[in-house]
Amino acid sequence: MSKLIENGSAVIAMTGVALTVVSGLSRLLGIYYLANIQVMTVFSAGMGLMLIGIVGKLFACKQTS
């Protein structure tokens, strides 16, 4: 179960990093909407996914100790 949480949180965190990078680059290029969603909303979602991934990794590490 701990390995499943660790792998799942890694995927979630990588998705968050990808969303954050895409939204950051879009903002630098002057694009304010991605698929009719504001870029800052996508950025916030990416940050939230990274946070969930970090908490999942910490939880998995605590379970194995």
**Per residue in 34-62, pLDDT tens?**
999 999 999 999 999 999 999 999 998 88
Rounded to whole angstroms, how far apart are CA atoms 13 and 45?
11
DSSP character string of 22-50: HHHHHHHTT--EETTEEHHHHHHHHHHHH
Confidence of residue 63 (pLDDT cuts 50, 70, 90): confident
Q: Residue 11 pLDDT more than 90?
A: yes
Q: Which two tokens stand for residue 20?
A: 């954050």
Whole-prediction pTM? 0.88
* Residue 65 pLDDT: 66
